[in-house]
Amino acid sequence: MWRPGMIERMLEFIQSDDYEFVSAAAKGPNGVIPPYKHPLVGSVQTWMYRSYLKCFTYNLDSWRKSWDRNNEIDLYKRMHRSGVHFGYLPCVVCDIYPRPGQTKIGSEAWIKEQKQSTKLSE
């Protein structure tokens, strides 16, 4: 859930230093979610970037790479290697909640769900 004023705050920030891609902090069930590093990038739910960057598309085969990388990390890393100007706003602009029936979010939720479905199929 985006917090009130999130879009306005992000737009102000993207214009403050002519950033091309900005993200911010998000809060999950266990507190503030740490950003990815090099460059600092917040959770995908906070991403905002210039429309011309839509030429960068998700690589659905990113899992086939020699390192374990999900598609959003692959996307921002490719943008970064191409010289996109990144900015990170270190304040919480959204809250991320688990899906109904779950207690975890992101990869942790997926792994837990896979383990549960394996037990059910046995």
| Residue 117, CA distances (Å) to 95, 100, 114, 120, 122 in order | 27, 16, 5, 5, 9
pLDDT at 26: 95
Please give the helix or strand (H or E) that residue 91 lies within, else none: strand 86-95
pLDDT tens for residues 76-120? 988 999 999 999 999 999 999 888 888 877 766 666 666 766 666
pLDDT tens for residues 21-80? 999 999 998 899 999 888 999 998 999 999 999 998 877 776 666 655 677 888 898 899
Give residue 61's domain range.
6-121
pLDDT at 114: 64
| Residue 3, CA distances (Å) to 6, 15, 26, 64, 92 in order | 6, 20, 10, 36, 8
Separation between Cα atoms, residue 42 and residue 52, nearest integer Å: 20
pLDDT at 62: 66
Number of domains comprising the chain: 1
Reported as half-sphere exposure (CB side, CA atoms, 13 A), residue 44 has a value of 12
pLDDT at 100: 85
Full-model pTM: 0.78
Assess if residue 112 is contained within a domain: yes
Assess if residue 1 is contained within a domain: no
